[in-house]
Structure 1
């Protein structure tokens, strides 16, 4: 009886604390909104002031999350409409963008794949082959996510697929709470998810938004193949770099470096799945066809959203598909709202004049001289994007707020906007220090098996590594192929 009373009291205290945090977060966001509107200098037009305030208001709510992210997106949309910061056609344009259909199609594809045992089978086979040692186990976790990136266009979905597998591994090997082994496995899932969007254009929402903004405002188109061509050296270097980092950060005693039980567990799992069936084969064929259409975009000219939707139609069509339509349409509409509204924010930030005004303040002589030098421009934008991402935690929001400013800055400096725009978008993908920086971090942390503190030190090193490697690739490979 006493135990039940104490539990009720504890739950009541937790609920009150959560409500207080929620109220304080909302008060802070509203206060910041009002201060920006009233204290920004007169060089900002009315629309630019309001739009800047709306963005800061939305960013705070997305970071603190006192209300669901989809509800925040809806409120931001309403604020843009009610304050009339741009034509309604501009404000609603994010919802009509082909990028949104690509994201929706990607999430539906992921649902369809998850309706079969294909993803699990591939994961179990890799872990059976290499997962019996600590080095092989970590490598498998990292590589599985990279393979999934070709076929599952959402870091959140790929991470969600990996979490049950990682939890099973933790239980099988007996990784204790706060042990190095548990931290290595979980951060392997998070960091693998973060870098998996590097070279595959459809594998990360940030990539899609970058391409959409470049195409809409500076008329630069980047195909699926071009994105891969620009970024694959960085991707190939990042995978072993994250592997080495986590092995060094979380050294294991000798008795925790081999796991013979993993092989047996994976064999049992594969046995339970049975032999590969026709549904899995049809799923694999449709995935290969979809990826093939993405890769050959220069030949047929189809926007990447069209192959994604073709894949969804084939996967759910009676008789030839591999998934149920009723299951496939159960996608996360919080994400759809978030991406649609953030894309509209990017368009409206430019249309309202806010991006131009902010870039004018940044266009001091020393910044323009840096931007006008391609080598220094890459270094400057990579570092700027990392710092910006720490302040604006959500990847989508970071991309759609930073890119318009960077593109306006490139216009002021009279340089080709491709390099700085592409670099800013790519660098915004990587977030390792704070759990709110990326969906893989947030999802891994939500398991309750790892804390924010566990992200800090390895995350700092991972940030430094990705920053340095991006700059090195920019100054070597990008110069070699003529991008810089």
Structure 2
């Protein structure tokens, strides 16, 4: 593309950006988040959780070990939800306490690091580095956005479609956000959308929402469904199929929700000014590295799509692509790039979620919680609509007190007892988690959404407006349609 005077060229801006884009300067509240007072607040929250677990445990006649496990799980979930400690600090504290107090064996506590979900995330992170460093990401952006920025609606639709489409290539939501955000911000600058303008806010929030919500319906695309994949396999021996998962969830909660998202962003953050004309793209020949990476990605996607036929988990396909990118002589990701650009925090997060679920299961805490829920929830075999509604409401309530990536780790150990109480097949009960963790009521429930908003300089108020509005439409319109779709496919009777 040729730069126009007075306007920033998207290719030049994105190329000059560092591989890991820096967030804008944090507001005063964020700067104060590192104060010593936060440690005191965290200690008080943990003490309150211990007190609640102790009182409830004694009232229920639970054993001391079960009470200790409940205190640890409740404290960890509350610290993740409230954010009094950074997520990696909370996760490491969970690992330490679980091992030191002998709540579960180390093989259980650290089982997340050996799970398919963890290696799926790791492989996706390395693939994302390769996409950025080879320039293939920028080439794809030129192809996608050229001549598709003539109207604001077209811009938002293209950003949304790109965010969702990239989920078929990159299993890491954070990786997709880190890849797309500098490209989208450069495009916003070129279109004249300055900071705090509706156009810029709309584009950033489209990346944030479309990178997490619709991809929840694509099996190896984000943390919650990866956790569900690993937990279903390790706890019940159920291997979720890529094709059946996609068919069940994507038409309504993926495709239709994307269309609703585009419409909603254009309504909440309208931009009616004229769009500047686009310059013709300069299509240079693909480099050897770009061609090689394109072949690797095509083969990986083909492997993801045919896992029901060959039986190889998407995690190991992702890891294979990762190893090829790291091979000397291939030259797609160097050791230095691996060290500097593969982010540790999301990987710790995944291991913590999976370890939490394993502790809930191994200590018997899951059985105790399920017994209490089964006593309280109006569940009965033969009442399909009521059962689905009750399970969805329970999941939504748990999702508000914890982040959504943790939800499968909490709910999956309860699935067998819930299936017995409702008369629904176990796999159906597992799949019912997807409509819950794909619905975001508040931005804090999804760490990738918060990361995208921070990178794009968009405040919490704007993100909350979009999430709440989309959640209302989802509950009132999309979930009833999804229920009918499940019945049409024979998953519900």
Q: Residues 215, 367 of structure 1: CA spacing in aligned structure 2 closer, same or farther, 3 A cutoff?
A: farther
Cα displacement string for residues 313-361 of structure 1 (whole angstroms, at most 9, x for unaligned residues): 2223344453334323542222222211210110111221212111211
Q: CA deviation at 1:35?
A: 0.9
Q: Residues 326, 366 of structure 1: CA spacing in aligned structure 2 closer, same or farther, 3 A cutoff?
A: closer
Q: Residues 118, 13 of structure 1: CA spacing in aligned structure 2 closer, same or farther, 3 A cutoff?
A: closer
- Whether 1:312 and 2:328 are equivalent positions in the alignment is no
Pairing 1:244-323 to 2, within 5 Å after superposition: 244-253=263-272, 256=273, 258-261=274-277, 263-264=278-279, 267=280, 270-271=281-282, 274-320=284-330, 322-323=332-333
- Paired residue for 1:463? 471
Q: Are the counterparts in 1 of residues 53 and 74 from structure 2 also a CA contact under 8 Å?
A: no
Higher relative helix content: 1
Cα displacement string for residues 418-461 of structure 1 (whole angstroms, at most 9, x for unaligned residues): 22221114421332x43322133211321363211112222211
Q: Are the counterparts in 1 of residues 204 and 452 from structure 2 also a CA contact under 8 Å?
A: yes
- Paired residue for 1:28? 44
Instruction: Specify the SS of the correspondent of 2:491.
Output: coil
Q: Residues 227, 413 of structure 1: CA spacing in aligned structure 2 closer, same or farther, 3 A cutoff?
A: closer
Measure the CA separation in 1 of the matches of 2:33 and 2:409: 33
Q: Which one of the candidate residues 368, 372, 375 is aligned to 1:357?
A: 368
- Paired residue for 1:204? 222
Q: Are the counterparts in 2 of residues 145 and 196 from structure 1 also a CA contact under 8 Å?
A: no
- Paired residue for 1:3? none
Q: CA deviation at 1:146?
A: 1.2
Q: CA deviation at 1:215?
A: 2.1
Q: Are the counterparts in 2 of residues 435 and 455 from structure 1 also a CA contact under 8 Å?
A: yes
Instruction: Specify the SS of the correspondent of 1:447.
Output: helix
Q: Which one of the candidate residues 400, 404, 412 is aligned to 1:403?
A: 412
Q: Residues 43, 418 of structure 1: CA spacing in aligned structure 2 closer, same or farther, 3 A cutoff?
A: farther
Pairing 1:54-453 to 2, within 5 Å after superposition: 54-234=72-252, 235-253=254-272, 256=273, 258-261=274-277, 263-264=278-279, 267=280, 270-271=281-282, 274-320=284-330, 322-330=332-340, 331-364=342-375, 367-369=378-380, 372-393=382-403, 395-431=404-440, 433-447=441-455, 449-453=457-461
Measure the CA separation in 2 of the matches of 1:38 and 1:247: 49
Q: Residues 14, 125 of structure 1: CA spacing in aligned structure 2 closer, same or farther, 3 A cutoff?
A: closer
Structure 1 residues without counterparts, runs of 5 or longer: 1-10
TM-score, normalized by length of structure 2? 0.86
Measure the CA separation in 1 of the matches of 2:232 and 2:307: 17
Measure the CA separation in 2 of the matches of 1:350 and 1:114: 39
Instruction: Specify the SS of the correspondent of 1:125.
Output: helix
Measure the CA separation in 1 of the matches of 2:388 and 2:197: 39
Measure the CA separation in 2 of the matches of 1:35 and 1:70: 24
Measure the CA separation in 2 of the matches of 1:444 and 1:292: 29
After the TM superposition, which of the residue ranges 11-20 and 33-42 deviates more from structure 2?
Answer: 11-20
Aligned residues: 462
Q: CA deviation at 1:17?
A: 7.2
Measure the CA separation in 2 of the matches of 1:13 and 1:294: 42
Q: Residues 326, 196 of structure 1: CA spacing in aligned structure 2 closer, same or farther, 3 A cutoff?
A: farther
Q: CA deviation at 1:164?
A: 0.9
Measure the CA separation in 1 of the matches of 2:373 and 2:393: 15
Q: Are the counterparts in 2 of residues 199 and 227 from structure 1 also a CA contact under 8 Å?
A: yes
Instruction: Specify the SS of the correspondent of 2:168.
Output: helix
Measure the CA separation in 2 of the matches of 1:463 and 1:79: 36
Measure the CA separation in 2 of the matches of 1:346 and 1:218: 13
Q: CA deviation at 1:288?
A: 0.6
Cα displacement string for residues 45-78 of structure 1 (whole angstroms, at most 9, x for unaligned residues): 3233222221221123223434432222111011
Measure the CA separation in 1 of the matches of 2:478 and 2:431: 12
Q: Are the counterparts in 1 of residues 257 and 478 from structure 2 also a CA contact under 8 Å?
A: no
After the TM superposition, which of the residue ranges 187-196 and 41-50 deviates more from structure 2?
Answer: 41-50
Measure the CA separation in 2 of the matches of 1:149 and 1:474: 21
Structure 2 residues without counterparts, runs of 5 or longer: 1-26
